[in-house]
Amino acid sequence: MKISRWIQASIALPAALFAVVFFSPGVPMAAAEVSDAWVELQGNKVHLLVAGPKKGRAVLLLHGGKFKASTWQKLGTLDALAEAGYRALALDLPGSGQSPGWKIDSKVFLAEVIGALGINRPVVVSPSRSGNVSFPLILDHPEMVSGYVPIAPVGVKEYAPKLKPSPVPALVIWGDSDRLFKPAMAKTLAASFKKSEVVILPNAKHPAYLDQPKMFHEALLKFLAGLSG
């Protein structure tokens, strides 16, 4: 397990203003083309925002309880992933965003979504509440994913002991000012994976990616670039 700590000074930008991502000084990245998509599961529809080349490695973006798929668009994450050549798919969980509410089976939900979308071994980015659906996937179907990026997810105490040792490469992200789940839990979760890295974002609360979007994108893209297969 590798542990990193970001200590650079940074000014957190409001999510709504972070529409342009800079990859080199003074050179703004053009906004990616984002399209709406729907997937049907057992007669129910789930909405997604999709960006990036179809043949790129798929990155499935989930969201926390107060957020939705469009959060990733406003933050610039869809642009960042598409520009780097990845296929970004931001999901509106049932009852959030444009997805109608319906009772899901959290143990099989993501496996069914991935199957319905026809994407091959995506990297799953899972903040907060979405841990309820991502942990069962990582536990029961590790062969269906090529990487896992939990961001202070719900369910660490329940699933960390069950996962150990998971073969899925993991990037565990936490905010150092998270008052909901203590940052020390990041190390506990990372120990459940054979290969993992911990990134603690400074001056960042529970939704750490909102407080430090630039650092979050850098860590995510570095992790993706280092994955094989």
Task: Read off the tokens for 212.
Answer: 């430090």
Task: Mention every residue, 6+ apart, whose C-beta is less than 8 A from residue 117.
Answer: 39, 48, 89
Q: Which residues pair with 198 in a beta bridge?
A: 3, 172
Q: Report the DSSP pairing between strands 22-24 and 27-28.
A: antiparallel
The H or E element spanning position 112 is helix 109-117
Block residue for tokens 């610039």? 76
Block residue for tokens 């899972």? 126
Q: What residues act catalytically?
A: 128, 178, 206
